[in-house]
Amino acid sequence: MTVQIRDVTLRDGLQLVGRPLPTERKVRLVRELLALGVEHVEVGSMARPDLVPTLADTLDVVAELSDEERDRAWVWVATPRHVERAAAAGVRRFQYCLSASDAHNRANVGRDAEASVAAFPDALAAAQAVGGTVQLCVATAFTCPFDGEVPIERVLSIVDDPRTDGAVDVVIADTLGQAHPGEVRRRIAETARLRPGLGLVFHGHDTWGNGVANALAAVEGGATVVDGALGGLGGCPFAPGASGNTATEDLVFGLRPSWATPEAFGELVRLGEEVTTTLAEPDRARSQAGARSGAHAFGWVVDD
């Protein structure tokens, strides 16, 4: 099983926290994660700073990164204008997000899903003008906080819409963490069948305790990248009932990407503890508790 991890602490992970993480600490965290072996990071969002103030310094973070680091760093966008502004600041990896549910898309970005799909070609053109690439991210791909279950046909119609041609990856997001492994496997596999030439990313939350199980099911269905956040931080401010992302630590321990060693895992645990303490947030990573259990005969237990 070949799988890569994308850490989304600096975007989704910070959306609901009550205090900011300093810009210099964000830059250092990007470098620490990449040095450990994490393949990709989300470094922020072009969302309105008055709505998500903890992400207001996204472009300041990007400005501090090298070209090599930016090549592994993704920024959340939802409009062509977002792409233009981010591109001017040096961003080259864009995650264009829309919701399968119209109700959530209106709450999140102020328009229905059709308007977001219709704007995708312009967003793609703006990215390609600077040599950039775009992921198509489909949020609320399982359930919506306002409308309930989202039919799979709705998700697949967006994925298969010719106006989204040109995306390099499709991100299927369990925004509320209400999906179960069988349905995750099914929707990922159907997406892979429709768009066999694209990369597949699964973005999961652990609200109902299925985070790692859903990630494993996504990989079985064809996903090659899964998202997580240190300490299980995260959630959507426009999705009542959403809680933290699946913890990066738990994904690394459970999926064992190629770079995962007890030493690298231990550093992730320490980073998660540091970041959650700085933000005065609980560390929800289940593997953190195991790592600190004192069962020293097990090689993955963390000693300081």
Q: Residue 45 contacts by C-beta under 8 Å, 6 or more apart in sequence?
A: 11, 15, 52, 55, 58, 75, 76, 77
Query: Is residue 296 one of the residues assigned to a domain?
Result: no
The per-residue pLDDT for 239 is 64
The per-residue pLDDT for 108 is 84
First-to-last alpha carbon distance for the chain, in angstroms, is: 31
The per-residue pLDDT for 240 is 65
DSSP 78-109: -SHHHHHHHHHTT--EEEEEEESSHHHHHHHH
Query: Is residue 278 one of the residues assigned to a domain?
Result: yes
Alpha-carbon dihedral sign for residues 60, 62, 65, 66: negative
What range defines the domain where residue 204 resides? 4-291
Q: Could you tell me if 74 and 40 are in contact, meaning their C-beta atoms sit under 8 angstroms apart?
A: yes
Residues assigned a catalytic role: 236
The per-residue pLDDT for 303 is 85
Ranges 147-156, 171-180, 233-242: which has the least confidence: 233-242
Query: Is residue 145 one of the residues assigned to a domain?
Result: yes
What are 196-214's pLDDT values in tens digits?
999 999 999 999 999 999 9
What are 247-299's pLDDT values in tens digits?
999 999 999 999 999 999 999 999 999 999 999 999 999 999 999 998 889 99
Widest CA span in the chain: 56
Rg, Å, the chain Cα set: 18
Residue range 176-193: mean pLDDT, rounded: 97
Q: Using the predicted structure, report yes or no on whether residue 237 has a pLDDT greater than 80.
A: no
Q: Is the pTM of this model over 0.85?
A: yes
Query: Is residue 277 one of the residues assigned to a domain?
Result: yes
User: Could you tell me the pLDDT band of residue 241, with boundaries at 50, 70 and 90?
Assistant: low
Please, what's the b/e burial string for 246-269 (b: 16 or more CB within 10 A of its CB; e: otherwise)? bbbbbbbbbbebeebeeebbbbbb
Query: Is residue 128 one of the residues assigned to a domain?
Result: yes
For residue 29, the domain's CATH number is 3.20.20.70
Nearest to 141 by CA among 173, 107, 186, 176: 173
What are 61-85's pLDDT values in tens digits?
999 999 999 999 999 999 999 999 9
Task: Work out how many domains the chain is built from and give that number.
Answer: 1
- 142-144-149 Cα angle (round to 5): 55
Query: Is residue 298 one of the residues assigned to a domain?
Result: no
User: Could you tell me the pLDDT band of residue 9, with boundaries at 50, 70 and 90?
Assistant: very high
Q: How many CB atoms lie within 10 A of CB 68?
A: 9
Query: Is residue 41 one of the residues assigned to a domain?
Result: yes
The per-residue pLDDT for 107 is 87
The per-residue pLDDT for 296 is 86
Q: Using the predicted structure, report yes or no on whether residue 1 has a pLDDT greater than 60.
A: no
Query: Is residue 219 one of the residues assigned to a domain?
Result: yes
